[in-house]
Every structure is written in structure tokens, then in C-alpha cells.
Amino acid sequence: MNSTFWLTNVRLETDYHFVNGTITKTNTACAHLIIKDGTIAEIVAADSLLNDDYPKKDMKQLLALPSFIEKHCHLDKTLLSDKWRAVTPVNNIFERCEIEKEVLPTLHTTIQQRAEELLSRYVQLGVTHVRTHVDLYPEVGLKNLEEVQKAFQTFEGKLSYEIVAFPQHGLLRTKATSLIREALRSGAGFVGGVDPATVDGDIEASLQQMVELAVEGNAGIDLHLHDPDQLGTFTMKRLAQLTKEAGLQGKVAISHAFGLGDVSRSEAEEMADILRDAGITIVTSVPLRRKFPPVGLLNSKGVPVAIGCDNIFDVWSPFGNGDLLERAGRLAKSSGWGDERSLAQTLQFITGGKTPLNQAGEQTWPKVGDSANMVFLEASCSAEAIARRSQRKATMFKGNFVSSSI
């Protein structure tokens, strides 16, 4: 579209409606937004006369929300666009890794093709930023990274992205240090890791190596941590210490972090303070059959929390569709967040903290100067969108429609 144009008749949330001190619904109103060079340049009421000659796109009173951020996926693993296959049962993670190494090279489609299929679905579902983990191990070298980068090139201008150099089979176990270093030089921005205790067999050495690589490569860290209970929290505490010592606050994430869901509330509160102090983000896929981190507690303590879909139809799981709105609804349901405000605030976990209304009901998004990264839905408000997985009609990235059925 033209670099300057109007989005007309956009539904925006304005405040909460209270009855006897209780929120009963979210108030909305339609507005016109002028988009200029990829940002929101002006917001006016829908009854305002538009006397300029800028092009106009009628949004038909669709609800606008901040576009979504996928914080944990594996573009190189997905089987989307290839033939159907269910999961082969295994006894442990090592057997699963071996099966994956055998299966992926035999597929009729390329990693690039499959990654592009998943990225296409993401864009249609309102996602405009993706963090993907890319497997690195001796048998494949940097091939997975190169294929995923090609997929991202195809989607240039449709979304932004981050790449984690991920030693799926163990950083120490497969002696992957040189591969991680090379991946960082080739475009990856994060050092990955997996279960320093049960996969690498040495918590201290594994974490030290991750931190050293991150500092050397001016990169962040995103650690897969499935280890349970005190084993998991011990690992988190040590990573928090190393993070502060290395000055990596705000650049480290722990994915899964199941141990936080296993320990007592008091222990989880203590861990929340440690994580907040170190600036560590927790990323959860909201699993159905596993205790996961207490998102509400962490959020109340100031720990950044994000949702990611993780495995989407791959050798590890036959399930998953890339719908972050569905995952957010799952989080709300499992957490007992059924009231208007709680549902609406769940949105923050898939938007990088952005919500149209804050806890007090004050409008915080959109504001003039915000990037025009939006998703337009058939919903009356964000609470309904979360609870009902409302249909997405259009996705905008930096002022351009990257998906639209209107």
C-alpha cells in the first residue's frame, strides 16, 4: 500500500465497564488510524471527517490487537507440507534424537519448504515475530541454519525473527562448541542449551560454556530446561548467578522451566525474585500433561513470561498448529482466569507485554508512534479473542498487510 494511508473503522478497546466495582465488559469504540512509514501517525474518532487525499482501507469494525510474538518454535524440525506420520514411542530423549537424525534426511520436502509452510501459517494467525531454535550437531553442521535462513529470506518484510543456535543432543555431549560459535558468526543471535544435568551430565561446565559463548559472540542465551523439582531450580539459580556476573541481564531466557511448577509456592516465589533480579525470561508452551511454571505468580513478581508453541507436527509430537491465541486461551483456562480483566491481560504473554488496556483499565495501546504491527479479529474485545480463539482476518507488519481476507 501507499506509505501513508488511513485504516478506517478500526475497533479499539477504550476502558472497562464497571458495575458495583466489578468489571462486566470491555468498552470499545471505532477509530480511524493514519499509517505513515510503518508507524501509527494519528488516531482520530470514527466520526471525524477525513479531508485529505490519502488512500483509505475500511477495516469493517474489526478489533485491532497487537500482533503476536512466537517465542519458541523449531522451524527446522516441523514436518508440515510432508506426508503424515505419527510419533514412534521411545524410552528417553536420546532415542528420540536418534530417530530424528534418521527421519529428517529421508523426507521428500526440504527444511526450507517445511519452514516456509509454518511461517505462512504463523503470519495468517497474527504472528509477526518468531524466535526459532535450529539444531546443530556434527552430522548436519550448519545445514539446518542455512535452510531456515533461506525461509526467512522468503518472508522478508512479513515478519521479524531471532535464531537460537541449539545443540539438541547436548552442548558438551556432542562437543558442539565450535558449531555454536560458527552459527553465531553466521547469523544466530542466541546460544542454546538443553538440560545441563541430564543431557550434558555437568551443570557447571555446561552453563559456563553457554555463558562464555554468549559473551564472546555478543549474544543471548535460551536454555531448554526440562529437569524437574530442585534439580531444575538449582540449575536456574546457577544460571542467574552467571548471568549477573557476565552482565547478560535481559538477554537470557529459560524455556520450559518445569522445575518452577514442581516446587512449593514459597520456593517458586524465591525463584521468581532470583529470576527477576537477573533479568531472565521464562518461556512456556503451556503443556497439557506436565506441570509448568506458575505464570501468574511470576508475572506478579515482575518476571517476564512468554508463550511459545514449541513442537508443531514433528518427530517429537504429531500435534500443534502454530496458533498462539489458542495457547493463550489454554493458559487462561488452566489458570482459572475466566473474568474479563484476567482474560484480557493474558494477551500480554503473546505480544511482548502489550495489551490495549492495563490492569486499571487505562488505554495503553495503540499510541501514536507505535509500530503498525497489528492483527485484526472478529471479536468484541481481547477477552473474547482469548477465550474463543477468534478468527483472524488480517495481519499487518510495519504498515503492510502481510495476510488479509478483507
Nearest to 249 by CA among 212, 268, 221: 221
Distance CA 291, CA 1 (A): 46
What pLDDT sits at residue 2? 63
What pLDDT sits at residue 20? 82
What is the pairing mode between strands 190-194 and 22-36? unpaired
Enter the pTM of the model. Answer: 0.96
How do residues 68-91 score in pLDDT, each as one tens digit? 999 999 999 999 999 999 999 999
What pLDDT sits at residue 216? 98
Q: What is the 3-state secondary structure (H, E, C) of 64-97?
A: EEECEEEEEECCCCCCCCCCCCCCCCCCCHHHHH
How do residues 101-133 score in pLDDT, each as one tens digit? 899 999 999 999 999 999 999 999 999 999 999
What is the pairing mode between strands 190-194 and 160-166? parallel
Mean pLDDT of the chain: 96
Collapsed DSSP state (helix, strand, coil) of residue 356: coil
The phi-psi region of residue 78 (left if phi > 0; otherwise alpha if psi is between -120 and 50; otherwise beta) is: beta
What pLDDT sits at residue 1? 56
First to last CA, the chain: 14
Question: Using N-to-C axis directions, what is the helix angle for 229-246 and 265-278, rounded to 10°?
Answer: 20
